[in-house]
Chains A and B, each alone.
Chain A
């Protein structure tokens, strides 16, 4: 097993990986940018080193600096988390040159499967159905536009290096093509350092369902079941659950087999996710492979009882997948909501700032993977994900009830969060029945919000009293403070004067 692991990430995922290291008795090293000095992952790590200024291109994306820290601190492995360099084959290459193990797939497997276009080619060879589109990135926008015209709108433009909806645009008509190309390419360049795009036919009303696979270095590949990720706002997943309300045991087997076939074909190792679009007739189409740990991995952990990060570390250390997991089936139900520092009442604009207070939910069936604390200032330079609130229970209904209860307990003040979005979704009849698709949330949000639930009787009275009490306490303490400063002399001042006078000439 490894002795010390460098965590090449920040935020809640760095904390998640640190915790796995702690439990395994492995020393850990965090890295941080100038604005992340006070971030939770820095506080929790055994060692922490600054790797540069706030801009991720000069810190979290600098492979040379990461390898340098790993070498100097004697790390024998690097965990990339998700985002940043997690799917950049240059990191596993640099690691192997430095004699350090990369916790993830090989650079070759990452290239063969991770890049969206080559993944598609591989899927075709492995007999996995795919969505029509270009297999390769096309440099020339005019060429792509011509292809889009022949394929018929709507189409999707996607960043080759993309993920999380960044560098992605849906184009509904020819007139919007040029602007969408420009925005997607510039966003892709800023987020991933790679502006290349490709084109895909846009399916109407599909679900996004993904399969978690694990492969060890000894040829065993297993599927750990699916995650339903159709609740998305502008291609950004906001709620994930396992199992999917529409996946039958037969479909689970078929999708799992396809995912395993693909992983084998790509000589894949470690954790990976095969994303599929599933249409109304439950046909599934390969979308892409995420050659890394996913943000939403906790829902799989809750229904399988496995710790996926520890499993990643064990596989990277050369361990075998401990037993035949071909027959693993989900137990109970789990659901995750992604709490972001953004303002749902103001077009979801990011709302960085200082967390003045925070009350975390606890109790049965609740897990909180968090990257904030009271007094922490959420920087504006990075993804605004604050925390992931995960609930699990015996049934989907119990899980939703627990999630609602936990959302009521969870309070963050000082910054805006999207918590009201989840209150709204978790009350929608279609959501409760499991009837939705990837555009469902965008359509819901295009409608006027439902009338606010009237507050419980007494809420206004209690709030007025609270405001008055708060004001009174502050006014009194301000008055006391001003009395203090005029009354008792400052001991610092008198000590300073005494020292001045004592000085012998």
Chain B
């Protein structure tokens, strides 16, 4: 089976072509068209041991909500998107954002403790908009840009989930 793996890390993005052919107990593996001397095995759920040219690696795989895989290899982390020709997937929804308008989302689940601005207020970049509390620590959610608070969706005392929209700054 031939797969494309789009690997992303802090140092950039790369697309690798990986082919896996089952041969008795192990896989024959080619990487970008080259056969590699690699032995890969899932040693426990989501933990994969790879011996590549005699070098041993352990990779922890965590699927994330956006369909990508998070890969942890020691201190190094990658995000991987798999393109599998056998599986038809709907197009990834494009996260298009209106020019200049910023959506402020809750970075964690928690509770809105205080609103520091009102809809219609003019704010500076870095100015606090909302105070959130999670795990007993209070944190200010700051405006990423100077502008006007177009809509304020957060309400005092309300519980929010990570990713919930708190405000729009135009």
Which residues from chain A sit less than 8 Å from chain B, CB to CB?
A: 166, 183, 186-187, 190-191, 341, 346-347, 349-352, 356-357, 359, 380-384, 408, 411, 413-414, 420, 423, 452-453, 455-473, 475
Contact = CB atoms under 8 A, between A and B. Distances in A.
Contacts, number: 164
Given A166-B137, A350-B135, A460-B16, 14 more contacts: A191-B136, A349-B108, A356-B46, A357-B60, A382-B135, A423-B75, A458-B57, A459-B76, A460-B14, A461-B38, A461-B52, A469-B42, A470-B46, A472-B20
B33 interface: no
Interface of B: 1, 3, 5, 7, 9-11, 14, 16, 18, 20, 27, 29, 31, 36, 38, 40-42, 44-48, 50, 52-53, 55, 57, 59-62, 69-76, 78, 80, 82, 84, 86-87, 107-110, 113-114, 131, 133-139
Contacts of B113: 186
Nearest to B31: A461
Residue from the set A341, A380, A381 with the largest chain B CB neighbour count within 10 Å: A380
A467 B82 contact: yes
Given A357-B60, A380-B109, A469 B53 contact: no
A306 B154 CA distance: 51
Contacts of B84: 471, 475
B5 A384 contact: no
Residue from the set B31, B108, B133 with the largest chain A CB neighbour count within 10 Å: B108
A470 B18 CA distance: 12
Given A357-B60, A468-B3, A468-B5, A463 B75 contact: no
A461 B20 contact: no
Contacts of B7: 460, 463-464, 467
A108 B41 CA distance: 62
A354 B130 CA distance: 27
A463 B131 CA distance: 39
A465 B134 CA distance: 38
Contacts of B135: 341, 350, 352, 380-384
Contacts of A359: 47
B50 A462 contact: yes
Contacts of A411: 60, 72
B60 A459 contact: no
Contact of B20 (A356, A463, A468): A468
Residue from the set B29, B62, B75, B113 with the largest chain A CB neighbour count within 10 Å: B75
Given A352-B109, A456-B55, A166 B136 contact: yes
A186 B113 CA distance: 10
B133 A470 contact: no
Contacts of B134: 349-350, 352, 380
29 contacts: A166-B136, A191-B136, A350-B108, A350-B110, A350-B134, A352-B109, A380-B108, A380-B134, A381-B135, A382-B136, A408-B75, A413-B46, A413-B61, A456-B57, A459-B57, A461-B52, A463-B7, A463-B59, A465-B40, A466-B48, A466-B71, A467-B71, A467-B82, A468-B3, A468-B5, A468-B18, A469-B27, A469-B41, A475-B87
Contact of B138 (A187, A347, A468): A187
Contacts of B45: 357
A479 to B, nearest CB: 9
Given A461-B52, A463-B7, A463-B71, A468 B133 contact: no
Nearest to B42: A473
A187 B108 CA distance: 18
A377 B72 CA distance: 20
Given A470-B46, A471-B82, A472-B3, A383 B136 contact: yes
Given A458-B55, A468-B20, A469-B27, A463 B80 contact: yes
Contact of A347 (B71, B87, B110, B139): B139
A455 B76 contact: yes
A351 B53 contact: no
A457 B56 CA distance: 11
B59 A462 contact: yes
A171 B53 CA distance: 57
